[in-house]
Amino acid sequence: MKKLLATLVLTALLGGCASATKPVDPTDALMQPYAGDVPGASLLVIKDGKPIVHRGYGLANLEDNDRATPATNYRLASVTKQFTAASILLLAEHHRLNLDDPIRRWLPSLPVTTATVTLRQLLTHTGGLVDYEDLIPPGTTEQVNDNDVLRMLSGTSKTYFAPGSAYRYSNTGYVLLGLVVEKASGVSLPLYLQQHIFQPLGMSHTLMYVRGGPEVDHRAYGYSEENGSWTRTDQSVTSATRGDGGIYSSIDDLAKWDAALYDDRLLSDASRELAFSPHVKVTGEPYEASYGYGWRITGDTLWHSGESIGFRNVIVRWPKQHLTVILLSNRNEPEPYQTALKIAQPFLTH
């Protein structure tokens, strides 16, 4: 009997040791803050065109207990800017506009102080236009739309600096670029994106969301942590503008976008070179980078983050290594850029 007990104890101890020493997936360890019954994330790592990591963590909707999956659609926030920039480049390719057009050619209600601001400068955040957030009247509760932004900009002669003389990140510029897409194409910005980017690439669940328009399938709702608990903070007064942040998409659809950035199936070689070239040094932001058209450039990476109330997203590409990390989350923290860089490390060849 004693011998049997000793054997059982030894077996239990060995089993415990085996489970204790079981290797922990380093990616899951880094994504631990998103796991469980909390606002979550979807993560994609693509190497040489193949998904190496393709997972959801946590919840897309706390109230309904919907799990986050690779098909969950998140508000991309400023990751939208690369799509707005691509739309401008496509219209330039088709001679519907010129990158050196003054913005007032397309939006003549803007004040004369913006007379020399060009589309190219808006693409690189060097136009010097005032942030529309600073023009919203105190106490505003209704959501501000793109036409409201144009109206507010048209009513102020203030600028931050002479066009082309400095860098200052500008949501205003990309809202106006979205309006230019509509003027130059003759269709709405959501429809232009649908017809010329999303449908051709098979991004069938991606859309630029507008209230009253098509609903978002498999939608993640945004949350913020307040006093130790999560509160839904999905929309704010600035959540209805479009060209600077209005697209919803999933890691599954963004994989198709990433693939299209390696060849000319969407944008010409010349357009992609413009988008991915360092036109200006980024200043006033907590990292070393230059800016292309809707992309930040740091070393060998092309990347962009997106932050909106209740959402934090990032896409980081290493084109020379055919590696991409996309992390979309429906929560106000943590900021995902550094996490994405750490997730990439095992897949990088140094």
> What residues act catalytically?
78
Q: Nearest Cα to 315, choosing from 261, 273, 267?
A: 261
249: helix, coil or strand?
strand
Q: How far apart are CA 250 and CA 72, in angstroms?
A: 5
Q: Nearest Cα to 216, choosing from 243, 246, 236?
A: 246
Query: Which residues lie closer than 8 Å to 242 by C-beta, 6 or more apart?
Result: 80, 145, 146, 175, 178, 189, 190, 208, 210
Write the single-letter amino acid at 112: V
Q: How far apart are CA 157 and CA 148, in angstroms?
A: 16
Buried-exposed string 179-202: b where 16+ CB fall within 10 A, e elsewhere: bbbbebbeebbbebbbebbbeebe
CA distance between the termini of the chain = 58
Pick left, alpha or beta for residue 202 (phi over 0 → left; psi -120 to 50 → alpha; otherwise beta).
left
User: Which phi and psi (to 5°) does residue 191 adopt?
Assistant: -70, -40
Q: Are 311 and 321 in contact (CB under 8 A)?
A: no
What tokens were used for 290? 């230059």
Rounded to an integer, what is the distance from CA 107 to the centroid of its chain?
26
